[in-house]
Structure 1
Amino acid sequence: MIKEVIVVEGRDDTVAIKRAVDADTIETGGSAINAATLRKIALAQERRGVIIFTDPDHAGERIRKIVANKVPGCKHAFIPEKDATRKGDIGVENASPDAIRHALAHVHSTYERAPELIDMSDLVQAGLLVHPQASERRMKLGNVLGIGYCNGKQLHKRLMTFQISREEFAAAVEQLEHEGW
């Protein structure tokens, strides 16, 4: 059983999580997350810890930000869009049990004051900003590092928040190059 409570968007996500692992969930009911749900999440964080595991889309990112801002110290699990898409629908509920277990095995913790490990010039040099394929490269890099897809500014923030080392970053960029990106 997973010790932490997993925050998901809805009932179908809970079903998918329970197919993959033995865990308890809290459902946000979508992006209209209310104060009562946030209080439940805060209590779960205080007692057991919380893993935020939302869909790899705009609404999922919005929920992730709301919960992380209101309930500090949550862990984060990310699933690549390709692993969460079925018939054009994107969501955790579409992911295979193996993809869910992989995402939960690679959760990231946030840190209040992360040192500046990677700066914006590193992102430019790696072709993650100001590059014709920057968006695609960020998506691939986010999948390799397990931190999800985001724009350039958010990528830098996630690299800092999850304290991705220069070595991890360089290895992920090298993997992109090796794969032809």
Structure 2
Amino acid sequence: MEKVIVVEGRSDKTRIAPLIAEPVTILCTNGTVSASRLEELLLPYEDLDIIILVDADKSGEQLRKLVKREFPEARHFYINRSYKEVAATPIRILLDVLISANVQVNKLVTEG
């Protein structure tokens, strides 16, 4: 099944995109979104495997709550709170998170 990964910002997208070794759509919410904006963003992908990977902060938690309500079938993956942001999470940790989400990763990627 085709996958869609939802992140908050462009820096998150540029951080995880090179790690992924399969065709995946990465969507940026660009911060906190309303229910209608979220629906607009995710509705075209509702039949796909939706993976949520957002920051471990207040706006990330708000986004998760909204997604759980509007798209209960979406799968949520978490980074450790100590890293706060997806963009600040070490590559090896992100690789582990992506692997746990059943996303094929580039094994050759190293901390840059």
TM range (shorter): 0.7 to 0.9
| Alpha-carbon displacement from aligned partner over 1:19-42 (angstroms, at most 9, x marks no partner) | 322432111111134624422313
The correspondence of residues 15-30 of structure 1 with structure 2, limited to 5 A, is: 15-22=14-21, 23-30=24-31
Which residue of 2 is the match for residue 99 of structure 1? 93
State the secondary structure of the residue aligned to 1:30.
coil
CA distance in 1 between partners of 2:10 and 2:81 (Å): 19
Q: Percent identity?
A: 25
- Structure with higher helix content: 1
Which residue of 1 is the match for residue 68 of structure 2? 68
TM-score (norm 1): 0.49
TM-score (norm 2): 0.76
State the secondary structure of the residue aligned to 2:51.
strand
Kept after mapping to 2: 8 A contact 1:20/1:98: no
Note closer, same or farther for the CA distance 1:62–1:51 as it changes in structure 2 (3 Å cut).
Answer: same
CA distance in 1 between partners of 2:3 and 2:100 (Å): 14
Structure 1 runs (4+) deviating above 3 angstroms are none
CA distance in 1 between partners of 2:28 and 2:61 (Å): 15
- Structure with higher strand content: 2
The count of residues paired between Structure 1 and Structure 2 equals 99
Which residue of 2 is the match for residue 40 of structure 1? 41
Which one has a bigger Cα radius of gyration? 1
RMSD over aligned Cα atoms: 1.9
